[in-house]
Structure 1
Amino acid sequence: MSPDVFISYSREDQQQVVKVVEYLRGQGLNIWMDETDIHGATIWTKEIVEAIRACDLFILAISGHSTGSKNVVKELALASEREKIILPIYLEQCEIPETMEYQLAGIQNIAFHTLDKAKAYEFVHQTIRRLGVGQPKQDENQVLSQAAPAAPSRGRGAVVGHMPPPKAKSATGKWIGIAAAVVVLAVGGFFLTKDGGEKQAAPVSQPPTTPKTGGSFRIALLPFEVNAAKEEDKWVGGGMDSELKTALNKINGVTIIAGLSVNTYRGANRDISKIKSNLNVNYILDGSITVTGNKTSVNLDFINANDLSTLWSESIQATPETVFDSKGQIAIKLASSLDIQLGSKTSENINSKHTNNAEAFKLYTQGRTLWMTRSQAGMKQSIKLYEEAVALDEDFALAFTGIADAYSMLAVYGYMGKDDAYPKARKNVLDAITRNPNLAEAYISLGWIQFDYEWKFKDSEKSYKKAISLDPKIAQAHQWLGINLNNQGRQEESYETLLQGKELDPNHHVLMLNLADNCTRLGKFEEAE
């Protein structure tokens, strides 16, 4: 009988690994492990090669011992060559050596050493089941509805958190994911690149392409290029990206495509001729900011994606402290060019601010940039900056949300224990909601805490839906709701929700992996490729 799972481990870790194996066998899984002394043999035997070839899932028990084992390295290489699903399980926190770096790049893992001992074995079991390995018992659906998502840890060379494990270097392009894969927030830039070919430009007289997102004009907001003599002044680019996206998305009939999907077009890759076909947009808003001392110049081009003609250009002079006030002027210009009338309420919403304190907003923007690095030092430093921002404006709800997100991701990446990080995250997200009960970002943060830490999937679902009701144009809310629904076994609903997220951020690599996983579960194999 072919094994469901092959476990590769170091002899020094045998006692701990055997306990895991015994539990999994008790749940009906057929586990192959070297329980003799094959690794001690002079010749690496055919038995191990055959077991790896026949298994459905290859588990790598990672420790300081196994990462230094030549035989474990060979087993991992063979599993990768055979295109097996690979699931690394960290028995302890350790660095990934160069001999394993290539095979483990971009693969989800379980930080077994950080899990509650009472739940750890079942946690591994449920993760294996979610990968479609083995035949579940009849009563397993009850357990699945309560199972928690896999908690990744750090590892040099391995992309941890927020993404499901692919079949290692599979040429099929079909990705099978752990249902705990998440998002957010900028772990993108890895894996698949959905670059389409260029389409022939339409004649100048042809009207814009029919809008694709709920009747809205789709507009690609390219990242602002910042020209500044001082590195410390370049934060205004990220601040303007965020503020303008939020402002323009408040216009009925407009959907802004930004974030990971447009980050591809930074710097030397700023080839706008490919944007229409890759992102399916009607228009492109391309901007740059020049900072000279206390003077800031914003230059914008609004481009028809059909023929790349510039419909209008705008130059705005301001100071670093007042430059974000220009979002209202830009929104009016853009709406007018699309024959959209802005009501007084919409205009008020567009010009609203998260804080009136310019220094607090600067600190928040700098913190968000550090948080996006997903490094331990970067995320911890982001908390300090958020806290400085809150000290300047105690009603700055978005900064409290930033603190919550930082603590959550420190837990996800294994830099802090869950029981230490998540209560702090919850406290800060509730502080944010108390200050601004209509802040969509806060409910997204709350939904993640309820999902990953509290295992309250229904409450998490309500939080995500609350966020979407407040701002339906945040791709992350749709993405994380889709993952939640997938965990509840509601695959069709998950599929529709993830498609909505894809419409808002079509080249978000992690979201694409989530959608591919969902399609695999639904048997939509061609769509999963």
Structure 2
Amino acid sequence: MSDVFISYSRNDRPIAERLAGALEARGVSYWMDSHLTGGTSFTKVTEDELNKAGKVIVLWSKTSVESGWVCDEAQAGREQGKLIPLTIDGSQPPMGFRQIQTIDMADWTRHGHADLPKALLDALTLGSEAGEATSNSMFVSRRKVILAAAIALIFTAIAGIMLLSGSLIGGRAAEARIVVMPLTADGNDPDEGPLAAGITSELIIRLRRVPELQVATGRADEPPGDNALYGSVRKDGEQLRVAVRLEDKAGNVVWSDNFDRTLNDLLYVQEDIAKAVADTLSVSLDVGINSRAYGGTDNPEAFANYVQGRSYRYIPDRSRPTAYLERAVALDPDFAKGWEELSYIYGVSIYSAGTEERLADLMAKLDYASAKALELSPDLWNGLSARAWYDIARDDLRTAAGKYRRIVELDQGRDPDLRNSLVTYAIQVGRNKQAIEIQRSMALIDPIYRRTTPEFASDYQQGRYAEMLRKIDEAARIDPTIRGQNFDSIFWANVFTGNYAEARKTADEFNMGPMTKSLPDFHFDPVANPDYPPDQLKLWADRTYGVGGRRQLAMHAALASQFDHQDVAMNYLRLAFERPGYGAYWMIWQPALAKLRKTDAFEDWVTEIGLVDIWREDNDWGDYCAPVSETEIACN
């Protein structure tokens, strides 16, 4: 018999799991339908558990009020006199359920409070152990940030424990029992007590998503585990230190570490810390998606260089990520993921090759790195993705498309980086909506990917430029690389909203080229954007951009198109993709080229470069073009 039965809509499952963990941390047993096992009768087991439970908690939301299952379970709870209704988003219960006072959990849901509301504790006849909340809203808000940060850090340690226990070693499922002991306050800051008290509940929620792991809460009536995790929290001004250690049954310390971070806006960057530590632990143990068997490495120093290189992926100076990644594969020459990421960096460096010698050197390095990655992991997505980078650099999109089809087949929903590779490809071939959906799905695998750019891209493509700029500004205060990932969109969004000074600032910051010299008043400058015949235009581009310039010439095309010089725009676009570059096909789908896409010349061109063949072979035309006959297409 469970103390409570939790009824919820499937869309609200993450909130239900968080509530379940918070209840369990207070010694309240619960049942929810995630406890169902294969071969059981869903309806019978659910009804039995509801009838046996001491209380029925119903999570009302905009989706659950429309759910027949939730309404039926609420009805049963009400008839048995044990219904506790909660609203998790401010939604009112359906008619017939409003006679019982509904507990407002919307703030708890939005902000991730550790402590459960007193009204809920009272309804469960638990009372409140947390004391009275302060009336200082700034203090409360600040404590939320600190709590979330510490939770992420400690969860990282426990994720490492899962790996240490062998539950995923070699991809082999094994039973491991981890006891999570309550964290303790290690200093004198008044935030530390409430912080430590709330951490266990959040950890339980996250850990219960790992099917191979049994999680115990340290209660006296539970059997001991294979390992126990202990931790402490110390806060000193804006600094947070979380110390954790793992002990075996004999009390021997088998692993320990400290995690230090600055607290400003850590609520948003906490996943970076969690991911970094968990990944490093998995590397040390050669397990999980960073294991050698999955294209990774068992060399922590090589992995550290790889992580550092990836952190510089979007900065203009490509020499910094290149140095770290070359160091990573030097330390471990069999590091397939390292070679794959190095392939990407060599590829994007082609944009600014400048000279024939530099271009040849980069192409040779890209060829070698991608071939090495494929050799080391021929049946894994890493090798296929690396070699697809090489295909894209050679403008062989059809060959790259074949590799990406295979990558889709290899997607087991474990590795968000695999899906990130699919995002890059989808954008290249004009499937922006698909790319946005893939990015959103990545956050279901790892919450760190909430900070990628799906919402920015969606706003941009739908013309919500001011909203996009606002979101990017907020995100960039936490992660400055966001601007580098989206600078083209930032430039055009400022142009489209008439903020030419900001557009010029962006152009200068990211060295977008002389075509932007017409700013800040934004007019079409025929000196910066000359209307030459194709042969003469090529000579001009050689003088201006050397052997590169694909991205800059595509920008010339966009400027010409915006001022209704579509023939000029098409000349620039053709020239852009005749020159060496690294894809950049995504540029042809941005709003700035919408006018050009409607021309016959553009439709002929996408046929010439092989995009139409890919769309036909995939039977997926994406967002911008569609067939109107067996031989003709129309684009928008």
* Shorter-chain TM-score range: 0.3 to 0.5
Structure with bigger helix share is 2
TM-score for both structures, normalised by structure 2: 0.30
TM-score for both structures, normalised by structure 1: 0.35
Q: Indicate the structure whose relative CO is greater, using CA pairs within 8 Å and at least 6 residues apart.
A: 1
